[in-house]
C-alpha cells in the first residue's frame, strides 16, 4: 500500500513539474497581459474606494426587486457572499486543474489571459457608469445615519491609493451600476461554459448566478438595475471580445514528459518552450 501511494505521488509530482514547465513557457510570452490585468484590478479597487468619498446617503430609491423580494436582514448578508465565494474559488481551482488531471483542454495561463481581458473591459465600463451618476447606496451601512455611509475627504493622495481591501469589499458605498460581484460570476460562468466539459457543472453555474442575483437584491447590496445591466453588459462584452481575439486552441491530450511524447506533441511542446505559442493571440 505504501509503495503504491509512493508511486502515485511520484507520478503526480512528475505531472505537476511537466505542466509547470509548459505554463512557465506560456507565461514568458504572456506575462504582460497577466500583469496588465492584475494592475487593473488594483485600479478598479482604487476607483471603487474613490466613489465612496463622493457618496451621499439618501432615501433608498424605488426598486422593483425590492417590492418583490423580502429583505434578508443585515445579519444574513453573508448568504450572498457565500454563494459568490463558491463560484469564485471553484473557478480558480478549475483553472489550475491541468496541473493534476490527465484529461484537460485548457492552458492555465492562456485561460487567465482571456478572463482578465473580460474583466478589464467590464470593469472599465463599470467605473465610467458609477462615476457618471452617484446613487444613494441601498446597503445597510450606506443608509442615512450610518457612520460608514460617508468617508471624510482624504488629506493626502496616498490615502486614496493605499486602499483598504477588506473594508472596500465589505463596506463600500456608491459603486453601484453595475454589480462587480455579477461581473466576476458571469465571466467565470461563461468561461467555464465555453471551455469546461461537465454539463452538470455548466447548468449549476448558471443557476448559481441566478440565485446570487436574487440574494444580492434580497440583501439590499445593489438595485435591480445594477443586476440587469451586469447581465447584458458582461455577456455582450465577452461576446465581442471573443470575436476579436483568436480562439484558444485546445491542448493535445496526454502530455506527460517531453522525452515520452509522440512526435506531434513534442513539436507542440517545443513551440511552447520556444515562445512561439504566445498569449491570447495564437
The model's pTM: 0.83
Residues catalogued as catalytic: 181, 222, 226
Q: What is the pLDDT of residues 124-142, one digit of tens each?
A: 999 999 999 999 999 999 9
The confidence score (pLDDT) of residue 169 equals 62
CB 139 within 8 A of CB 215: no
The confidence score (pLDDT) of residue 2 equals 73
Peptide bond into 22 cis (omega under 30): no
Total Cβ atoms within 10 A of residue 273: 16
Q: What is the pLDDT of residues 41-84, one digit of tens each?
A: 999 999 999 999 999 999 999 999 999 999 998 888 889 999 99
Rg (CA), the chain: 22
The confidence score (pLDDT) of residue 223 equals 96
CA dihedral 123, 125, 129, 132 (to 10 degrees): 110
The confidence score (pLDDT) of residue 153 equals 82
Spatial distance between the Cα atoms of 89 and 92, rounded to a whole number of angstroms: 5
Positions of the chain with pLDDT under 50: 254-266, 268-270, 272-282
The confidence score (pLDDT) of residue 265 equals 41
Q: Of 145, 234, 224, which Cα lies nearest the Cα of 189?
A: 234
Match 469564485 to its residue by C-alpha cell.
Answer: 88
Cβ burial of 214 (10 Å; 0-12, 13-18, 19+) is: middle
Spatial distance between the Cα atoms of 186 and 222, rounded to a whole number of angstroms: 16
Amino acid at each position: 500500500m505504501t509503495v503504491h501511494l509512493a508511486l502515485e505521488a511520484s507520478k503526480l509530482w512528475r505531472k505537476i513539474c511537466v505542466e509547470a514547465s509548459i505554463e512557465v513557457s506560456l507565461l514568458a510570452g504572456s506575462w504582460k497581459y497577466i500583469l496588465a490585468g492584475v494592475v487593473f484590478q488594483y485600479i478598479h479597487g482604487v476607483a471603487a474606494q474613490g466613489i465612496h468619498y463622493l457618496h451621499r446617503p439618501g432615501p433608498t430609491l424605488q426598486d422593483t426587486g425590492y417590492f418583490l423580494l423580502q429583505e434578508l436582514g443585515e445579519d444574513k448578508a453573508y448568504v450572498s457572499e457565500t454563494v459568490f465565494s463558491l463560484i469564485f474559488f471553484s473557478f480558480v481551482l478549475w483553472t489550475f486543474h491541468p496541473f493534476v488531471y490527465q484529461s484537460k483542454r485548457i492552458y492555465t495561463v492562456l485561460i487567465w489571459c482571456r478572463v482578465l481581458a473580460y474583466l478589464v473591459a467590464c470593469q472599465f465600463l463599470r467605473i465610467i457608469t458609477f462615476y457618471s451618476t452617484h446613487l444613494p447606496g441601498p446597503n445597510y451601512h450606506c443608509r442615512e445615519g450610518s457612520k460608514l455611509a460617508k468617508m471624510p475627504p482624504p488629506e493626502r493622495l496616498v490615502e486614496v491609493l493605499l486602499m483598504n481591501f477588506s473594508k472596500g469589499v465589505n463596506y463600500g458605498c456608491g459603486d453601484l451600476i453595475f454589480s462587480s460581484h455579477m461581473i466576476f460570476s458571469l465571466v467565470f460562468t461563461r468561461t467555464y461554459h465555453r471551455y469546461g466539459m461537465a454539463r452538470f457543472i455548466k447548468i449549476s453555474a448558471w443557476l448559481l448566478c441566478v440565485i446570487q442575483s436574487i440574494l444580492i437584491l434580497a440583501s439590499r447590496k445593489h438595485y435591480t438595475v445594477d443586476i440587469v445591466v451586469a447581465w447584458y453588459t458582461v455577456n455582450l462584452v465577452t461576446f465581442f471580445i471573443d470575436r476579436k481575439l483568436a480562439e484558444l486552441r485546445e491542448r493535445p491530450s496526454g502530455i506527460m514528459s517531453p522525452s515520452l511524447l509522440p512526435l506531434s506533441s513534442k513539436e507542440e511542446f517545443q513551440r511552447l518552450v520556444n515562445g512561439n505559442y504566445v498569449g491570447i493571440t495564437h
